[in-house]
Amino acid sequence: MTIEEQLSAAVATASALTGERDDLRATIEKLTVGASSELESLKVEAASKDAKVSELTAAMETMGIELAAFKAKATELEQTQVSASKQAAVIAASVGITPTSLPQEGEATKEAVNHLAVFLSMPLGKERSDYFAAHKATIIKAAI
Give 5-49 pLDDT, tens digit per residue. 998 999 999 999 999 999 999 888 887 877 778 888 899 999 999
Residues in contact with 138: Cβ distance below 8 Å, sequence separation at least 6, in sequence order: 115, 116
Q: pTM for this structure? A: 0.37
CA-CA distance, 135 to 143, in Å (whole number)? 12
Start-end of H helices in the chain: 3-79, 84-94, 115-121, 126-134, 136-143
Same domain, 44 and 2: yes
* pLDDT at res. 97: 76
Supply the DSSP string of 54-89, one letter for each residue.
Answer: HHHHHHHHHHHHHHHHHHHHHHHHHHT---HHHHHH
Question: Do 123 and 67 sit in the same domain of this protein?
Answer: no
* Residue 99 forms part of a structural domain: no
Give the range of the structural domain holding residue 121, as residue numbers without chain letter: 112-144
On whether residue 102 sits in a domain, the answer given is no
Query: Are 85 and 126 within one domain?
Result: no
In a domain, 103, yes or no: no
- Return d(Cα 55, Cα 67) in angstroms, integer: 18
89, 92, 96, 102 alpha-carbon torsion, rounded to 10°: -50
Quick: pLDDT tens for 90-100. Answer: 887 788 777 66
Is 107 inside any structural domain? Answer: no
**Does 133 lie in the same domain as 77?**
no
